[in-house]
Chain A
């Protein structure tokens, strides 16, 4: 599996564009290490697995919403969908305490610098979910005041399609994020080893499910409830 390596540059010049930092695709960093020392490699692997397991099952979302999609996002937090099953019910009103920011709604040019500021205030490890067509690409709003996709300045981990996506889709997006977190390689400590963040390149759901979707031939009639 290939990984995306991100390295933060604390001395980035003021003129650099967001997302700041170096990004490139590399091989699994664990592969090298395993060849160097079998025992330490195994140990590190276990450590990563344990830490990632803890992280992915207590993702605290930031209480942040932009527009319509936010309503469906909050719906996922309430009784009928009960996000607590996935360990993400602890909505935080402060970016400092949150792990994941869900861009649920349209990203406006007037709002973009503020979103960036809030993202910067979140502490690592942090993730971003882009929820809904507007956040993914501008959606149906190809209009002067809307940023055509929030990935123009934020690094996105999961894209959820839909306008708005159903709460179930949001929950699925959250689980996909969990899967990807399980594969991550983040520095286990700030004194030892490589300080880059390695995120696994996860398979595209569209490709994964294409055959299954195309195989569907019978659709339910809308004339019946």
Chain B
């Protein structure tokens, strides 16, 4: 076991030597962290070169997984790091190495500029716009550096440390008639600004504004279409209508009281969202949880995966015009909620995982409920497959529609079922198991064509696999504690608290101030319902996080839309939107 781990570490950190060999040791600063990946600081002038190098190195880093910034100005514990007021970090992923790499660039307040990465990794585009919006960092050479999440009329950069977090720190919101006209005018789509022509040859293009409120966009998402008849010539997705400032929120909630906010990131994923956050916090705290807690977590996470996929299936088919599937899948969801509610006490947002374990032990009789659910689902799934996916109209609308290849998906940072639908067998639960997934026996379903149909079918198959996992949890639920015996377990086990004054004091401190975590950085990625979701936490030795970066899969999936849909038809766009399975909270956070 230990040799295996160190071998994995050796391959993960091999890139550091390769970088040193190429760029010289003196030009790099390697930062030790708990993230499990090499973190390397490079000079701004070398950034593009470094990026090109890692993109082309043997066993390349094919995907720009994440890109964001940190306001370093108030950070106390940064010994050994290059001086910086702001940092931009780039996280790259290599499938062959099965690991990530983080590159950081230090910036100074009076010169907040970095060269754009859009020409090296295409999907840097949206991330850079978001960093510009949130921190005011300029990306020189960016093709369209405008605000992304905040309204175009906004002042200030919310993620800066000197920007107030609370709405109640500002004047109460009011809307006047002229104010409304002004805001609406600012949102008007301007084709010229996006380099679009209004006419070409003998065609006059029509510009159609789909959203922010449209039945097929699942909430508040807007996409401006340039149409030639029914054909989509070009399109511009516009997001930010669902920005709840979740990352800023983390900077003022204690490590413990932030858990409910994670539930609401991918709001169909329930406790699945707690998992990456909790695991990252546990790395910072140095907690190893009990096998029972791990298994309970896996079971509940998979329950929510099924729940989310059922929602997907119903709404996806509804977007294609089928009315009844949503009634069937929602009655299954009701059964899933029956189990979830009995165990966690809540339906959508249980916030049920805790630092060091879960909130309660399983209630007596849980196994009967889970058993009933496991018996109920498989015939239903068969029926869905037969009645819906064999339906000739569904097939006409979906087979061969909105296809993309694996290479394309990786370029755009597409992960999860949408990536597997292209035929790539990459599931983080297998590739780098977390929370005890290595103990479970399940398959990774893959598609072949990467089209709308495959994305739909794949999720039905994934539900079957999740049922297999839950079945194994049911049969092999370990005995033992549901919370780790560790001073940072929050809140501490109750029976201990009632007996030891030490634990009572800790309990008091942890629920009033919150646990204090040592200064460091940690990271955890999981295979969430919609793709790879991760939390990158920076602790400055406080009761709150210094910076929490939440990387969500749907953000990348929406950025990918134009590349897939340009040249297709409007109904294909609707089918595609249904098939990528996004919720806006998972995009805008």
B244→A143 contact, CB < 8 A: yes
B267→A224 contact, CB < 8 A: no
Chain B, residue nearest A67 (CB): B585
- The answer to whether A152 and B267 touch (CB under 8 A), given A114-B213, A141-B245, is no
A140: Cβ under 8 A from any B Cβ = yes
Chain A, residue nearest B186 (CB): A113
B219→A152 contact, CB < 8 A: no
Chain A, residue nearest B328 (CB): A79
Find chain A residues with CB under 8 A from B241 CB: 108, 110-111, 114
Give A67 to B190 CA distance when docked, in angstroms.
Answer: 27
Find chain A residues with CB under 8 A from B267 CB: 67-68, 71
Contact with A along B263-276 (1 / 0, CB 8 A): 01001100000000
Shortest beta-carbon distance, A83 to chain B, in Å?
12
Pick from B97-105, B159-167, B417-425 the stretch touching chain A. B159-167
Chain B, residue nearest A164 (CB): B348
B177→A75 contact, CB < 8 A: no
- The answer to whether A164 and B167 touch (CB under 8 A), given A66-B220, A111-B241, is no
Chain A residues 1 to 41 lying within 8 A of chain B, measured CB to CB, are 12-18, 20
B73: Cβ under 8 A from any A Cβ = no
A68→B585 contact, CB < 8 A: yes
- The answer to whether A78 and B326 touch (CB under 8 A), given A140-B261, A144-B165, A145-B245, is yes
A138: Cβ under 8 A from any B Cβ = yes
Chain A residues 119 to 155 lying within 8 A of chain B, measured CB to CB, are 138, 140-148, 152-153
- The answer to whether A152 and B150 touch (CB under 8 A), given A78-B331, A143-B167, A145-B243, is no
A225→B342 contact, CB < 8 A: yes
Shortest beta-carbon distance, A146 to chain B, in Å?
6
- The answer to whether A152 and B245 touch (CB under 8 A), given A75-B333, A142-B168, A225-B363, is no
A93: Cβ under 8 A from any B Cβ = yes
Chain B residues 360 to 418 lying within 8 A of chain A, measured CB to CB, are 360-361, 363-366, 368-369
B334: Cβ under 8 A from any A Cβ = yes
Chain B, residue nearest A14 (CB): B178
A16→B167 contact, CB < 8 A: no
B345: Cβ under 8 A from any A Cβ = yes
Shortest beta-carbon distance, B296 to chain A, in Å?
14
Chain B, residue nearest A95 (CB): B213
A225→B365 contact, CB < 8 A: yes
Chain B, residue nearest A72 (CB): B348
How many of chain B's residues have a CB under 8 angstroms from any CB in A? 69
A12→B177 contact, CB < 8 A: yes
A67→B177 contact, CB < 8 A: no
- The answer to whether A68 and B174 touch (CB under 8 A), given A117-B184, A118-B213, is no
Chain B residues 229 to 280 lying within 8 A of chain A, measured CB to CB, are 240-245, 248-249, 260-261, 264, 267-268
A148→B349 contact, CB < 8 A: no
A224→B365 contact, CB < 8 A: yes
- The answer to whether A108 and B364 touch (CB under 8 A), given A140-B260, A144-B166, A166-B347, is no
Give A219 to B158 CA distance when docked, in angstroms.
Answer: 43
B173→A112 contact, CB < 8 A: yes
Find chain B residues with CB under 8 A from A148 CB: 167-168, 172-173
Shortest beta-carbon distance, B512 to chain A, in Å?
19
Give A116 to B213 CA distance when docked, in angstroms.
Answer: 12
B6: Cβ under 8 A from any A Cβ = no
A106→B168 contact, CB < 8 A: no
A51: Cβ under 8 A from any B Cβ = no
- Which residue from A20, A67, A110 sits with its C-beta under 8 Å from B219? A67
Find chain A residues with CB under 8 A from B366 CB: 225
A47: Cβ under 8 A from any B Cβ = no
Chain B, residue nearest A112 (CB): B175
B175→A152 contact, CB < 8 A: yes
A71→B268 contact, CB < 8 A: yes
A198: Cβ under 8 A from any B Cβ = no
A90: Cβ under 8 A from any B Cβ = no
Contact with B along A80-95 (1 / 0, CB 8 A): 1000000000000100
- The answer to whether A106 and B242 touch (CB under 8 A), given A80-B330, A148-B172, is yes
Contact with B along A49-69 (1 / 0, CB 8 A): 000000000000001111110
Give A106 to B264 CA distance when docked, in angstroms.
Answer: 11
Contact with A along B336-361 (1 / 0, CB 8 A): 00000011010111000000000011
27 A–B contacts, CB within 8 A, in A order: A14-B181, A15-B176, A18-B174, A18-B177, A65-B219, A66-B219, A67-B244, A67-B584, A70-B219, A106-B244, A108-B220, A108-B241, A108-B243, A108-B244, A109-B151, A113-B184, A114-B187, A114-B241, A140-B261, A141-B249, A144-B165, A145-B245, A147-B167, A152-B174, A225-B342, A225-B366, A225-B369
Known: A18-B174, A148-B172, A152-B175. 19 other contacts (CB 8 A): A16-B177, A18-B180, A20-B177, A63-B215, A66-B220, A67-B585, A68-B585, A71-B311, A75-B330, A108-B241, A110-B150, A110-B151, A142-B168, A143-B165, A147-B173, A148-B167, A148-B168, A222-B363, A225-B364
Closest 3 CB pairs of A and B: A78-B330, A143-B245, A68-B267
